[in-house]
Structure 1
Amino acid sequence: MTVIFFQAECGDASCIRFLGNDNKYHNVFIDSGYERTFRHVLENEIRNIVAKNETIDLWIISHIHDDHIGGAIKYIDTIKTGEHNDIVNQYFYNPPRVYDLKKSAKNISEFVSIGQGDVFYEYLKSNNKLLDYDITNSIEPIDLYGLKLTILSPTYIKIDDLRLKYPLDSNKSLEREEDEKVSEAVAPKQNDYKTLINNFNLDIWKEDNSVENGSSISILAEFNNKKTLWLADSHPTDIVNSLKKLGFNQDNKIVCDWVKVTHHGSKGNNSDALYNLIECDNYLFSVNGENKHNLPSKECIARILRNKQRPKNSKYNFHFTYDNQTLRSIFNVENESIFKEYNFEVFYSDQKSVTINL
């Protein structure tokens, strides 16, 4: 199995390629970054898949924010123009509205200022690729040729919250980017890189309250005893509850090979309770450090490193999908001894993707 995390600025775009139990290779895409991410990295990956005479078995779009759905919207555009064919067998996507068009002959776009989430829904619906049920943590795990996918979030309640926010017949546009009013819960107004790792007060924590982030599809992927957590922008309380329902606790942690850190390393989406349940050495931050919310937050990194349930003698590896001065400045104020004190190493990527063979 090969896992690839693509450069998507402050967004998510990744894929899994694995040799299934049918002795054929299969591909799963998870999110798609911004629209420009398609030309930057995804288009070439899709062409490689076509050249191998393979398909994308599943494309998971976690939620409606630009930095997760945008690349898939551009892909649809190229399909409509005939530039590409749709090689995706199945999509996982939770529509942001209740689309009951039987009550009116009007087109969706006549009801609302149509957004990317609506465009994606219309495409899936018109091409018979929309599931007739929601992807939530209530459904049974999916077995895809030996790749087991367990849905950790969202809950039905978080999907209902999303649809209550965006009634079909309202004039409220879908939120494409995070509203500034929730940014305080997500990241500091200025970056916190001048604060020492040891000086963060980790006893204070406030969870992200974004309705859109709360609707994120996050998964546990398992293949040949290898486990990876793909946490999208989910609320950590939902992930914690799902992991506990699966039987994990502080004495029986989930042992993972990789964790795609929630919401690009925001402080509001990464909690002590979450990392109390996880035993993992490799943490991936899908972020470039150059964004209005100043992600990743250093507090998130400190919370992972200083977790009271962290196994003794464990070495942590933090991987970033970019290499630039902003990301490298996170540790500028630290004494070099901090890496030995908390036994961790940092890796930056100057390539268009981070590729991991598992």
Structure 2
Amino acid sequence: MDFKNWFTQKRNSISSRLDHQSFCKTGKFLLRCAVFGIVIIMLLYLIYATIYAVCAYAIYSHYAAEDIEAYLSKTSEEILLKSSNETEIVQNIVNWELREFVLTSERFQIQDLILRGISTKPSWYLFLNKGNCGELGIVFEDMANRTGLTCRKVAINGFIDLEGHTENHAWSEVLLNGTEWVVADSGFNFYPPADHYFNYSEIWLLGPVYAFEDGAQVEDRTAHYIPNTERIIVMSTRGGEAIPNCSIEIEMNNNGKSQRVVGTTIKLKTNESGLCPVTLGVYDNTSYTLRIIDLKSIYQYEGETGIILGNNTGEIKIEVDQPRPNAASAVFIVLIITTLCIWRHILRKKQI
């Protein structure tokens, strides 16, 4: 190979590398611009959503709240006048909500997160004319209280429907004649005298069902809503010793779909003896994953196991022995590393 050819090859090789490096730099620059642009757009939208929510609440507070409260009071009086017993009161409240609120309202979407959370007053949701199942329940329960009924919230952590979709739901129960809790669900047009307990399990694979009073989880209602259930005892241990006060997470698995059914809305913990009873639905082609989490130390320990119900499972013992840093520990470690880096930088400057 003569010198001319060798030089030509080297020049072309260097040119090719420069072009490649330039392309890489351009690509990185464009990627950074795209990320920066997305972050700016998200921040601007967050600012816009916050300002919109605050302005909407200010208008509601100053111009609409009193009128809506008066409307609710008047409506509750009208419902009482045309109802001869508690069953009819429940029927009329649900029908009012279906006619005046549900059919004309919109569901909250993810972009309504700030708007949805700025207040939990029933009149606020009527002002917005928006509501998901939880908001419909709040409006129902407010009207039930105005008409002298005893009611409470009922909720599930989640479900899997017959088409494999996952969701959650909340509704109400009303105490009739001081003896019997009945379903009242404006979203599904469920009310007495019909018994709607098992209607939910006809369309969904339900997780545990619990009643709430004043925001506190008070009663396991699972067996009322699922025809076939099994009660198990979860036991948290480590090295043969019971571990108390551990959080419990449970996932339902059905035909490739999974849904957490305990751990967010429904919260369960083992007691001082490391035990916790759990009632779960027994379904075909369905298993559960049980996870126990011990949060009491700087490290979070966890353990999990899978179960299939329908064979009188009884007690499930789970070894909580897998260490993993919890969120607080992770933040603490990041702070330590950041502090060390800052001091290292300061000391280097002093040496120079």
- TM-score (ref. length: structure 1): 0.25
Select the structure with the greater relative contact order (CA < 8 A; seq sep ≥ 6).
1
- TM-score (ref. length: structure 2): 0.26
Q: For the pair shown, which has the larger CA radius of gyration, 1 or 2?
A: 2
